[in-house]
Amino acid sequence: MLLKKTNISENDTVSKSGRYHNFKDFMYFPDLGRPDLCHPPAPPLPHPDIPFGTSIFDIIRTKDIMLHYPYQSFNHIIDLLREASIDPNVRAIKMTLYRVARFSNVINALINAARNGKEVVVFLELQARFDEEANIYWSEKLLEEGVKVIRTIPGMKVHSKLLLIRRKENNQNMYYAAIGTGNFNEQTSRIYADDSLLTANPKITAEVNKVFYLFETKYRPVDFKQLVVAPFAMRNYFLRLLNKEMKNAEAGKEAWAIIKLNSLSDPQSIDQLYKASQAGVKLKLIIRGICMLVPGIPGISDNIEVISIVDKFLEHSRVLVFCNTGKPTYFISSADWMIRNFDNRIEVACPIYDADIQQELRTMLGIQWSDNVKARAMSNDDINKYRKTGSVVSIRAQDEIYGFFEAKSLS
């Protein structure tokens, strides 16, 4: 009927119905035999602190590790899951899944763990946009294999990226966690730039356990002291950190923040950023997508600079650094600063305590802020022009960051 009413004939191009069509499909674009149109290969690098054939539990027990995709290999996560699935001392694996790969090694490892008698609990978000059908399929598959599947909380999306492993060591429960900015997905991890913290810090792992308790007890609120969890406290927590920077600036102390997000559209947060600028706080924002804040307005936002980097990898990580009177505090987060993330989703931001990882994040942010090839300076103009830094050297952040980690893997 629609074809007839709109005068579309058999000579017109009509897409097959019964499925979504969106930009995600371009990830599976076929090889057209034109290598000149492709970026040079950049194979994911091994993490220098995770030697091949070494127990990842032994490594995480001694120090925190942060993986940076797609520069470093997502296979470390799969190896951790595979090790957990066959380790007789592992008692339980809990995980949140938002989007999974078509042929998921993550799912296979969880199924193997269940078959080996581990308690496996998965929160699988059925409302993941464009992935609803796939997630329903995986949900049914996991249930068939004896995995406990917790499905969508009504009126709330679970967007946090969490993995928790309980292992019996010396007759005590030892917990290992992975907390990330992006999905546990081996396909998107080759294209999305994300960060994932691997830790056995008991203060953090205990609170990751609390998040899963929240899922399993039908959304009963719990108290968090380490993790910052939406929709309970995330907006107010970061507004308080900005308020602290404002007070320091007004007192003549050093005051700044670096905030890297996909999108910035939450009115309260934008208002607080404007107030911070007016108080003298220096703000550097790296916002890849939607940004409703306008930088550089005299008297309102003249202490705010905003850039956007759009390149061969999708900038997807959320990283926040606050001056904190010269003792910077670092966070990675699953949440953008949007109303939906603060009020309608369960999101997790995690503090980063390890000094080496803090320095690594600061180096990456510094490289991104120096980008003068793919970075655009956001302004009140209709067109955000490529950013000029005054440097005679071309700096393409994603290439520079790959080189940074390549050098570390060889050292």
Which sequence positions are flagged as catalytic?
Answer: 159
For residues 193 and 183, give the distance between their C-alpha atoms in angstroms, rounded to a whole number. 11
Label residue 40 exposed, middle or buried (CB < 10 Å: 0-12, 13-18, 19+).
Answer: exposed
- Treating both helix axes as pointing N-terminal to C-terminal, what angle do 105-115 and 75-86 enclose, rounded to 10 degrees? 10
**Per-residue buried b or exposed e for 124-138, using 16+ beta carbons within 10 Å of the residue's own CB:** bbbbbeebeeebeeb
CB neighbours of 209 closer than 8 A, spacing ≥ 6?
Answer: 94, 164, 175
- Contact between residue 102 and residue 116 where contact means Cβ atoms under 8 Å apart: no
Amino acid type, 126: L
Contact (CB, 8 A) for 320 and 247: no
Say if residue 379 is exposed, middle or buried (CB neighbours under 10 Å; 0-12, 13-18, 19+).
middle
Instruction: Name the packing angle between helices 132-144 and 105-115 (round to 10°).
Output: 20
Per DSSP, the residues of 19-35 read: S---GGGGGGPPP-S-G
Q: Which residue is associated with the tokens 């995995």?
A: 147
Instruction: Output DSSP code: residue 166.
Output: E
206: alpha, beta or left? (left if phi > 0; alpha if psi -120 to 50): alpha
